[in-house]
Amino acid sequence: MESTEFLVVGCGPAGGTAAREAARSGVSTVVLERDAVVGAKRVCAAGLRPGFCETFDLPRSIVHLDPPRLTLSTMRKTYAFTLGPAHTTTREELDGTISGFAQAEGADIRTSALFRSLERDRDGVVVEYADTKAGARKKIRAKSVFLAQGSTARLDDVDPAFRFPEWRDGIITCIQYRVYPKTPAIDAAYETLEMHYYRSPLSGETIIAWMFPKRDHLSIGLGMGPKINGAALRAELDWFLPRVQARLFPGVGYTVREEGNLLYGGQPRPGIASDRVMVGGTAAGLVDATTGEGIYEAAMTGRYAASAVHAGKRDVRDPAPAYERATKHAFYKRLRHRAKLMSFLERKPDRFDVLFRQLEGTPRFADLLQHDRNDYTRRQWLYLYAQAARFGLRAAFA
């Protein structure tokens, strides 16, 4: 049977970064990617946090725009903040560039390769996949495996250690239009990332919607919790889009490319490591439930997996426990807290206004929330607790 040291499933930011960094450190790496072209089918607003390209050694050419402003809107009001600045890109470019670098480092990226199952034997982990181009089932043995299939990851049957019945409750259905205005929108459109939080007048559900500007189009989309059919979801976006148009490209004709995808917005998966198999990125549930962001977390888990595999190679150790420690330490407290905060806000939409007003009035609070909690000093923790208490009190009366 064919064999490799490290097998990665999925070539999104998590899988691509894992492959690139593992191959760079001399680990023989194979990636199985379901799609025929890496990144081509990913639906995403593709906003990147400040410093992303530097952190992951990616060329600035993938960046479309550097919006310095973020607005958070409710039905009542728009609250404005300055940013790092953040970046926007497209997933074709982001995922395609990372996988190109992984290939250049020696990783073997196999497209049209659909992961099916895995089992352990004495010599490692045997993964079965379908080569959908050739129409054949294939097997490959790996010393360790990184599962990074994103929000469609169904892992209950893969390994009991990854079972997580609440996974389904965290799934958010999304629709996005790539809107190409015939003439450019107003300047402010290209300088702002917009997030909107409101209760839908059509369905009564809480909606998170966005407008993220790109070089040649605007990504305008929304997500909502429950499973909903395509027509109802499209109706929600068709209600939202004219409101954005009235502000940003009034009276301008446009064409639209429609995209749909699942996003995960629940709690992180409790088990993400088991006997040489690791789970990363969105498959591990690592998405900020208040914003829908998960690219940074995904790429970071790819880095942790590659680093654990490289370290494990030296002393023939299972890399999974080290990977799990690093990932949980970096992300679990913050993301668990964000998922709880989102449920708290959704219960009474007026609470969004309470939070956004406080963030707008205390830029230091807003700024600290964009940083990793592991970097906070004691003074910053005290400040954050004081702000959280203030928010809790005000929100209780909202």
Ligand X SMILES: Cc1cc2nc3c(=O)[nH]c(=O)nc-3n(C[C@H](O)[C@H](O)[C@H](O)COP(=O)(O)OP(=O)(O)OC[C@H]3O[C@@H](n4cnc5c(N)ncnc54)[C@H](O)[C@@H]3O)c2cc1C
Shortest distance in whole angstroms from residue 188 CB to ligand X: 19
Q: Round to whole Å and give the CA distance between 86 and 191.
A: 10
If one asks whether residue 208 binds ligand X (CB under 6 A), the answer comes out as no
Buried b (16+ CB within 10 A) or exposed e, 343-366: eebbeebebbbbbbbbbbeeeebb
Question: 43 or 233: whose CB is closer to ligand X?
Answer: 43
If one asks whether residue 370 binds ligand X (CB under 6 A), the answer comes out as no
Interaction with ligand X in 217-256: which residues (CB under 6 A)? 221
Selected from 21, 194, 293, 353, the binder of ligand X by CB under 6 A is: 293
Question: 174 or 322: whose CB is closer to ligand X?
Answer: 174
Give 138's strand partners.
129
Interaction with ligand X in 87-146: which residues (CB under 6 A)? 114-115
**Burial degree of 215 (CB within 10 A; 0-12, 13-18, 19+):** exposed
If one asks whether residue 45 binds ligand X (CB under 6 A), the answer comes out as yes
Selected from 13, 225, 266, 319, the binder of ligand X by CB under 6 A is: 13
Selected from 7, 44, 63, 359, the binder of ligand X by CB under 6 A is: 44
Q: Round to whole Å and give the CA distance between 397 and 260.
A: 37
What mask, x for binding ligand X by CB under 6 A, covers residues 47 to 66?
Answer: x-------------------
Question: 141 or 394: whose CB is closer to ligand X?
Answer: 141
If one asks whether residue 267 binds ligand X (CB under 6 A), the answer comes out as no
CB 30 within 8 A of CB 309: no
Shortest distance in whole angstroms from residue 116 CB to ligand X: 7
Which are the contacts of 130, defined by CB distance < 8 A and separation ≥ 6? 113, 114, 116, 136, 137, 138
If one asks whether residue 152 binds ligand X (CB under 6 A), the answer comes out as yes
If one asks whether residue 21 binds ligand X (CB under 6 A), the answer comes out as no
Q: Is the dihedral of CA 290, 295, 296, 299 positive or negative?
A: positive
If one asks whether residue 308 binds ligand X (CB under 6 A), the answer comes out as no
Reported as half-sphere exposure (CB side, CA atoms, 13 A), residue 322 has a value of 15
Q: Which residue has the tokens 């370290």?
A: 311
If one asks whether residue 281 binds ligand X (CB under 6 A), the answer comes out as yes
Question: 125 or 395: whose CB is closer to ligand X?
Answer: 125
Size of the site for ligand X (CB under 6 A): 39
Shortest distance in whole angstroms from residue 264 CB to ligand X: 7
Chain-centre distance for alpha carbon 199: 23
If one asks whether residue 8 binds ligand X (CB under 6 A), the answer comes out as no
Gyration radius from the chain CA atoms:
21
Q: Round to whole Å and give the CA distance between 94 and 74.
A: 30
Residues of this chain that interact with ligand X (CB under 6 A) are: 9-15, 32-35, 42-47, 114-115, 148-152, 174, 176, 221, 261, 263, 281-283, 287, 292-296, 298
